[in-house]
Amino acid sequence: MGLIDRIWIVFAALNGAIAVGTGAYASHALAAQPQAQEWFRIAGQYQMAHALALMLLVALGDRMDRAALRIAGWLFVAGILLFCGTLYALATVGPLPVPMTAPAGGWSFMLGWVALAAAALRARG
């Protein structure tokens, strides 16, 4: 297993743990704030889904175009940081001074899935 694969696994595992923790935080600490609770839940769901997607990229690494898989991975990471990070920030500190970060993260997620599709189309065998 190469270094980049280990990095994706570590990043996936840490993001999975954070997603579980944010779910618990939303359920308990934000119970009196329904909008903040909803933002945390949405962010946690997307974060967990894309943590698992990073693991998928590692599993597919020997079967598909590695360059496209790496692009997908970095786009998933960008999506987690921008989309999920924005929702967590909205719930805890309010709007960020940089506009359109959540939509940019959403686009990153979508482009990551398109890159994964491209990797499948370029697969060996």
Residue ranges covered by each domain of the chain: 3-121
| pLDDT confidence of residue 123 | 78
User: Given pLDDT bands bounded at 50, 70 and 90, which one contains residue 14?
Assistant: very high
17: nearest Cα among 52, 62, 42:
52
User: With contact defined as beta carbons under 8 Å apart, do 57 and 85 qualify?
Assistant: no
Indicate whether 125 pLDDT > 70. no
User: What does the pLDDT look like over 69-123, one tens digit per residue?
Assistant: 999 999 999 999 999 999 999 999 988 889 899 999 999 999 999 999 999 998 7
Prediction pTM value: 0.93
pLDDT digits (tens, 9 = 90+) for 39-71: 999 999 999 999 999 999 999 988 888 899 999
Element (H, E) at 59: helix 34-60
Could you tell me which of 118, 4, 119, 6 has the C-alpha nearest to residue 63? Answer: 119
For residue 40, the model assigns a pLDDT of 94
